[in-house]
Every structure is written in structure tokens, then in C-alpha cells.
Amino acid sequence: MHSQSQSQSELDEALLKAARDGSITEIQSLLDRHANIHARDDDNRQPLHLASSNGHHQCIELLLDRDANIHARDENLYRPLHLASSNGHHQCVELLLDRHANIEGLTSNNGTPLHLASFEGHNQCVGLLLDRHADIHATNMLQYALLHLAAWNKHRQCIELLIDHCADKSLTDVRHCALSLSLSLSLSLSLSLSLLQPQYLACISHTNVSLPLFVLISQSLNHQKRGKTPEQVSKTPEIARLIRDRGACHSR
């Protein structure tokens, strides 16, 4: 039996936990007792974020029916669709898209849901997002294209899907020329090489590197030939060969 003297903060905390755990009956009960559907945890995530991150399809549906904000963003500007895509919950991705989630929403590092699914190797989510016309040419803050991210982590099925949907094999990234450019531009920023690794490029972690640096780097790409193509960032000859030899794309 639920206590009748729960404070608002206790109700809200219980709702966040229920969404994280996927307890649909508890969510219903807490909302009926006026728990705040827009409550936030320490990462600025709402119940809908937590249900999406953990793949609780029915909870997502209930929360949306009770007016949860499908466009809510956490501290890194992740929306529920980013989290469902990043964690490979394709049923949740489909539901969120059916309920008009923004397929091109950007994280703090300019990553889309398709970037995250490609980086993590969730081919079902990649295929679904592509079928819903996600931007195949999207790049993040370091000009990493979708194919770079899939190639780096050797996700063969994602690579094949992306190439079949006309991903550009010739795009070059910024990561491989970032340090030399920052020196040549005499920018007084202290860069840690770890901040330039691909796990950050998929917009999973906050970075302290300022946006103006990346703007300058991006603008200088045409004059610097040190960026690498998806084939060149591949870690194995097999993946490089797959990218090189995969046939012409099939237009959507």
C-alpha cells in the first residue's frame, strides 16, 4: 500500500525509478498521484528518456499518452530518440518516430540518432532510421560521417546499409588534422588527444573543446589534406575492402 504522505520529490523520484525499471503499473499509479511527468534526474533526464534508454516500449507509449515531452533534452542535449537509437531499441525507435520525434535532432556535439546507431552497430535501428529518411550525409562536430563511425568499430551490416543508401565514401574527417591545424592557427587551447577519439565523436560524452576551434578546423578542411576517409579509418583490411568494393548505392 502506498503511503499517503509522500512528498512531491519522493513521488518524482519514484516515477524516475519506475520508468528506468519499466514498471508500467507503478508509472500509472504515480502519475495518478500527481508525480511530475517532467521530473528530471541528475543527468537532466526525464522519465521518457529513461524508458527510451532501457527499451521499455509500453512505458514509452503510456508516458506519451500522458503528455510526456518527446523533444525533451538532457544535459548533453540527448532526446529520447537518441537514447533509444544508441541502445539499439528498434521498437522504441519506431514508436518514437511514429509519435513525431525529431529524426534530425542534434546532441551537444551535433550528433543525430543515426550517428549513434551507426557508431554502436545497431543495424536494425540504422535501417529503420534510413527508411524514415534520416540524413545519410549528416556529419558531427568533427566532420565524422556515419560511415566513419561504422567503419571505426567494424560494424559490417551498418556499413553495407549506409553504402546501399548512398553514404559518401570520399568524405574526410577532422580528427586527423585537428592538432596540426590548432597549432598553425596559434589557438591557445589545451587539447587532450583523448578528447578527439571516436567514442566522443558519436556525441556520447561532453567535451571541453570550444566550438570555434572546430568551426575553424571545418573551414580549413579544403586546404588540409590530412583528413581521412571511412576506408582509411578502418581498423582491418577486411573492413577497408568492404567499403572500397561495395557496389553502387540504391536510391531510396
CA angle 215, 72, 105 (to 5 degrees): 40
Assigned domain for 19 exists:
no
For position 142, what pLDDT does the model report? 81
Quick check: 79 and 73 in contact, CB under 8 A?
yes
Residue 118 CA: distances (Å) to CA of 110, 129, 137, 183: 14, 10, 13, 31
Assigned domain for 52 exists:
no
588540409: which residue's cell?
224
Residue type, 191: L
Assigned domain for 94 exists:
yes
The C-alpha R_g of the chain, in whole angstroms, comes to 20
Q: Can you tell me the distance from the alpha carbon of 201 to that of 198, in angstroms, rounded to the nearest whole number?
A: 5
CATH code: domain of residue 145: 1.25.40.20
Assigned domain for 144 exists:
yes
Assigned domain for 39 exists:
no
Assigned domain for 3 exists:
no
For position 121, what pLDDT does the model report? 98
pLDDT in tens, 127-137: 999 999 999 99
pLDDT in tens, 21-49: 999 999 999 999 999 999 999 999 999 99
For position 24, what pLDDT does the model report? 98
Cβ burial of 221 (10 Å; 0-12, 13-18, 19+) is middle
Count of positions (residues) in the chain: 252
For position 9, what pLDDT does the model report? 97
Residue 142, domain extent: 70-245
Residues of the chain with pLDDT under 70: 1-4, 174-226, 248-252
Which residues make Cβ contacts (< 8 Å) with residue 138, sequence separation at least 6?
Answer: 104, 112, 114, 115, 145, 146
CA angle 109, 131, 103 (to 5 degrees): 30
Q: DSSP states of 164-215 as a string?
A: HTT--TT---SGGGHHHHHHHTT------GGGGSHHHHTT-S---S-HHHHH
Assigned domain for 17 exists:
no
For position 2, what pLDDT does the model report? 56
Assigned domain for 26 exists:
no
Q: Based on the structure, what is the number of domains in the chain?
A: 1
Q: DSSP states of 236-251 as a string?
A: SHHHHHHHHH------
